[in-house]
Structure formats: C-alpha cells, structure tokens
Amino acid sequence: MQRRACALAIVATGFMAGPASAYMAYVSNEKDNTISVVDTATMQVVKTVNVGQRPRGITISHDGKHIYLCASDDDSIEVIDTASLEIVDTLPSGPDPELFVLSPDGKTLYVANEDDNLVTVIDIEGKKVLAEIPVGVEPEGMGVSPDGKTMVNTSETTNMAHFIDTSTHEITDNVLVDARPRFVEFTPDGKQAWVSAEIGGTVSVIDNQTREVVHKITFEVAGLRPESIQPVGVRITADGKKAYVALGPANRVAVINTQTYEVEKYVLVGQRVWQLAFTPDQKTIISTNGVSNDITFIDVATDEPVQSVTVGALPWGVVVSPK
C-alpha cells in the first residue's frame, strides 16, 4: 500500500513522465498462459495474448519482428509475430525449456532444458536442432558473450556455470558457484560473466579469460532475513557502469557499481521480483513481480520506481522491442 501511495504521489506532482520513446514490453505470465503487451510510453497494457502452457523465458529477434517464447509445459518454443501478435510458428526445443538466449547474430537460440539436463542449440531459420549439449542437473540460466564465441549455462542442482565453446558445442570450463544459480549476464565488454545464486544469496563475478570467480557480491537489506534475499535476474547497463539484480522475495532490485562491486541502492518493487529488462534507450528498466502480478518501471538515471502496472497472473519474463 505504501509503495502504491508513493507512485500516486509521483503522478500528482507531475514528476512521472513517460519514456521519451515508445517501446512495447512483452511480459510472460506463467500461471494464466498469456503475454501482456505493455506500451512503455503510457505504461498501460494494450493487449493480452493467449500462448502455450507455463510461459517463462522470452526474447525477441534483433529486428523486432518476432518474439520467441518458452512454453515450458508444452515442450516447445513459440514464435509470435509482433505485428499481428499471432503465433506463427514453433521451434523444436527439447523437454521443459525454461530459459534461453539469442546469439548476437540473431541466428541461433541456446535453450536450457531443465528435465533432461541439456542445452539445446537451435537454428532458427532452419527450424532444426544443431546440437544437444549435456550439462549439470537442472540447467536454467543462459548467457552468451557479446562476440558470440562463448555461451554459459548454469545448473541449479550441480551449482556450476558451464562455459561452452559455441563453435564446437563443447564444455571448456566448469566453474563452481553458490547454491542454485539462476541467471547469467555478460558485461558489455565480454570480460566478465555475472552469475546469480538464488539460495546462496550471492552474485559470482567470473573472469571470462581465466574462468575464475574474481568477486562475490553479497546483499543485506535492513529488516529482512538473509534467506529472503534470493538473487535471480541480472542486467548490466550498456556502458558497463551499473548492474541491476532482482532479489526475489526481498521485493527489491539491487543497484550495483560494477567497478567497486558495492550495492549503491535497493529499489522497492512488487512482490517476488523475477526478471529484468531495459528499454533500448536505457532510460528505464522493468521488473516482473510474480506474486503481486505486476511489473515496475524504474528510472535508470535516479534509480527510483516510477510506476507499477498490473499484468497477468505470475509474471515471470520480460523483453522490450528493439525499436
């Protein structure tokens, strides 16, 4: 209630202005099997799209024409036309696709298949599986280096980050991290991979050259028990200066100075924050808040919450159109 009152006060004072450019945000709602389409300028849901069962991971083609969606309980990846908002195709995915990452050239999807302990490599244009890579138990987090040469998968039960050569589809290094690693994000220069550990309560910063953990970031929020601080989604600004980490049931997004690894702020958002996505202009970052069934717009310049918007049931993933 206090958070919503604060948001209303911002509106009343006229401080809250919509983003300068209008982008569409697409939010996967895993309980009611929908995607919410949100206009980032008006901060309103403009359409709800019915999709497959238990949608989670979501991304978009580099030209913005197609959304790729993990329909986890349907064991498929759905392709959605952003103009018509119709499902126009499916891609082979292997069982229970949870998360995926799109290659920098936009041609390949790397998919975590949690039930089979595999990473599936998919040729998007050819609609075919190029490789199935055995990894640790319960793979979920997926990241790819900016040069496209290295892909990283995290296995939740094995507690490892697996570094994979994208040319050979072979694991080159296994890096032990803290309990239940959920997400991987490379820095823009490709020198580091940041891996969140949900149960461990940390983010491990891994040097991409030595494949060693060079720093471990911890979190502390006054009034909260340590076990309620569960890092999941991670995003890093294009200039590499700030990182944002979703802290799950702590209901906060941590803002981290990437040079000092210090937490500079905790931003209060909705309940059970899962994933994060920037708008292309980097002026706004959006969080999905699973239990409160909403998303929160955060101003990147001030690191203040601007407004929360109700979406579908159990919002999990979010992606924003590139233009």
Per-residue pLDDT of 300-312, as tens digits, reads 999 999 999 999 9
- Residues with Cβ within 8 Å of residue 45, at least 6 apart in sequence: 36, 37, 38, 309, 310, 311
Per-residue pLDDT of 196-224, as tens digits, reads 999 999 999 999 999 999 999 999 999 99
In this prediction, residue 21 carries a pLDDT of: 61
The SS3 call for residue 70 is strand
Torsion sign over Cα 110, 185, 211, 240 = positive
Q: What phi and psi, each to the nearest 5 degrees, are found at residue 135? A: -130, -160
Per-residue pLDDT of 262-282, as tens digits, reads 999 999 999 999 999 999 999
Domain ranges of the chain: 2-10+23-320
CB of 209 closer than 8 Å to CB of 173: no
Residues 18 and 41: their CA atoms lie apart, in Å, by 5
Which pair of tokens denotes residue 29? 């709602």
Q: What is the CATH number of domain 2-10+23-320?
A: 2.130.10.10
In this prediction, residue 22 carries a pLDDT of: 81
Calculate mean pLDDT across residues 156-177. 98
- Residues with Cβ within 8 Å of residue 96, at least 6 apart in sequence: 72, 73, 75, 113, 114, 115, 116
C-alpha neighbours within 13 Å on the C-beta side of residue 48: 9
Burial of 277 (0-12, 13-18, 19+ CB in 10 A): buried
pLDDT at 11 over 80: no
Residues 138 and 161: their CA atoms lie apart, in Å, by 12
In this prediction, residue 20 carries a pLDDT of: 37
Per-residue pLDDT of 143-166, as tens digits, reads 999 999 999 999 999 999 999 999
Cross-strand bridge partners of residue 276: 287
